[in-house]
Amino acid sequence: MTVCLHDGVVVGFVDAEAGEVTRLFILPEATGAGLGRRLLDIGIAQARLGRNGQ
């Protein structure tokens, strides 16, 4: 799981398993800054690593 903090407060996270992003959450007040896209990119990368067994 990857967590995004802003001033020490969790504002979003992403979690992945082999081959799939399982959870993605962003607080409504944290939207609009590209955080969701960045977390999704991280989740996809994590899912791909798990799928390839690396």
- Can you list the alpha helix ranges (DSSP code H) found in the chain? 35-52
* Res 50: pLDDT: 78
Query: Residue 39 contacts by C-beta under 8 Å, 6 or more apart in sequence?
Result: 2, 4, 12, 13, 14, 24, 26
Strand partners of residue 9: 6
The reported pTM is 0.86
Query: What does the pLDDT profile of the chain (54 residues) look like in tens digits?
Result: 999 999 999 999 999 999 999 999 999 999 999 999 999 999 999 999 976 544
Q: Within 10 A of 43 (CB to CB), how many other CB atoms are there?
A: 22
* Res 52: pLDDT: 59
* Res 20: pLDDT: 96
